[in-house]
Amino acid sequence: MTQAVMLQGTASDVGKSVLVAGLCRIFYQDGLRTAPFKSQNMALNSGITPDGKEMGRAQIFQAEAAGIMPDVRMNPVLLKPTSDRQAQVVLMGKVATNMDAVSYHDYKPRLREQILAVYNSLAQEYDVIVLEGAGSPAEINLRDRDIVNMGMAEMAQCPVILVADIDRGGVFAAIYGTLALLHKQERDRVKGVIINKFRGDVALLYSGIEQIESLTGVPVLGVMPWLDVDLEDEDGVALQNDKYRGNAPRDITIAIVQLPHISNFTDFNALAAQPDVRIRYIRRPEALTDADLVILPGSKNTLSDLAWLRESGMADAVLQTHRQGVPVMGICGGYQMLGDTIVDEVESGLGTQPGLGLLNTITRFAQDKITTQVNATMSGELPSWLAAAAGLPVRGYEIHMGETVLQEGCCTAMTLQKNGCSVVDGAVTADGLAFGTYLHGLFDSDAFTRAVVNGLRARKGLAPWETTFCYAEHKARQFDLLAEAMRQHIDIDKIYTIMQQHQEPV
């Protein structure tokens, strides 16, 4: 008999993903085999499973919190926006097609049977499934074909806990309004409310909690404070939060260009966790003035974001910063942008376009997407600030639909091991001031990251840090801190009771 509970929110970015991770950690600590599940995820942050399937990063880090390997069944449908109106549809880890919003809305009913089968197969292997909704269940224009909020709760026959964000204001209106817009059978599934991201004296909320419980008949299970824990964010809107503005003083400042279609900004979590590094996401040219390293991150629409770089003045600012001797790095789409030429007859239909010209490379887009985890070794000789990283092992994953060919003046950055074969990747200039790679997640490799940061320290005349920061241990501590805080501020016993009362055979 599998137990399940689903967290839904009054809006996007209310903290559902983090609280799901916290519940996964709690149940894992309590000895239960636990798995996360989100039937449909719209995100540009994705990762690769050990068997080469693409899924949302949120479900990957939730699986880590549960002490298990990520499995594509935890996120069977992934939508990756390519523009304001279109998205790439990834089904069970592989690209299926591109659709506009109207076409996908019409297509969703055909996914219900597959989603339920996937959920049931996962539930047969675990004691507890912690489901996550998307956005809000009160999107009444989408209700009739919903597969991710109340539609999924109905398929799984599981209870729902509603998460509301008090930090943005209007929390009681959000709770009341959300519940009021649900059908009665949907409201009956909501067994509790969690008020999230509270700052201040919780006693100030007591009268409001009593009134909202009286008005709705739904108990408030707890008030979670704003937590100082370092965990992954799923939505790009999170980049507006204070922790991404890089205000705290550090020895090294790394500027990451916040592209309109930025993807996989989780690549930089390990960098941001370094005690001597300040990460800043920037959208204005003048914000580059104090950077020790500039990074162009991944993009779901390389040529559109390249055009934005030029139109916004960011391209000129990056090139000027490079001329002043500041190294520039590109990852995946950012790597493609650093090159001389991009040939795209697949993704945008814009044909051949010039890149920024910092790397003498040519990129050609292809129909097939490469999705794989890889082990790699940095090249034996690397110049300048990268020298200490020469020969170091790194791990990461590839998600791209292009091939980049090096021309004269560029050296290979690393060698990948793929299917028993050695394959070169990346490019670096002789002076080390331009460096690119397709490898996402390489900063999760502790020795490599410390070597890179120490190389930047040396450029500023600073002594190296001899201690290597272990990012995996750091993440484990953050999961435990989250679980501890949730046990303190949420009635976890009540959540167990809710699950037991709605336990269903699978």
CA distance 212 to 219: 8
Contact 241, 272 (CB under 8 A): no
The pLDDT value given to residue 506: 45
pTM of the prediction? Answer: 0.90
Distance of CA 41 to the CA centre of its chain: 11
Q: What is the pLDDT of residue 468?
A: 82
Identity of the amino acid at 380: G
Out of 158, 261, 410, 440, the active site residue is 440
**By the 8 A CB rule, do 42 and 138 touch?**
no
Of 30, 32, 41, give the one whose Cα is nearest residue 4.
Answer: 32
- Provide the 8-state DSSP code for 442: G
At 504 the pLDDT is 56
Residue 5: its pLDDT value, please?
A: 98
- List the one residue out of 67, 58, 9 whose CA is nearest residue 38: 58
What is the architecture, at CATH level 2, of domain 3-231+476-501? 3-Layer(aba) Sandwich (3.40)
- Would you say 275 and 243 are in contact if contact means Cβ atoms under 8 Å apart? no
Angle between helices 302-312 and 314-323 (to 10 degrees): 80
For CATH 3.40.50.880, the residue range(s) in the chain are 252-461
Among 24, 158, 332, 410, the active-site one is 332
Q: Residue 226 CA to chain centroid, in angstroms?
A: 20
pLDDT at 369: 87
The label of the residue with tokens 């002490």 reads 67
Sign of CA dihedral 118, 298, 286, 433: positive
Is 440 annotated in the active site?
yes
φ, ψ of residue 217 to 5 degrees: the values are: 75, 10
Task: State the virtual CA torsion across 393, 396, 400, 402 in degrees, nearest 10.
Answer: 0
Q: Where are the alpha helices (DSSP H) in 324-400?
A: 333-338
Q: Give average pLDDT by consecutive 10-residue segment, the chain, 506 residues.
A: 95 96 99 98 92 95 97 97 88 94 92 96 97 96 93 97 96 98 97 97 95 98 94 60 59 97 94 95 93 96 94 97 97 97 79 94 90 94 93 95 89 89 93 96 96 96 91 95 98 97 65
The CATH class that applies to domain 252-461 reads alpha beta
The amino acid at 407: Q
Looking at residue 404, what is its pLDDT?
93
CA 462/CA 384 separation, integer angstroms: 15
Q: Which helix (H) or strand (E) holds 499?
A: helix 492-501
Which residues make up the CATH 3.40.50.300 domain(s) of the chain?
Answer: 3-231+476-501
pLDDT of residue 139: 92
Pairing of strands 328-331, 434-437: parallel
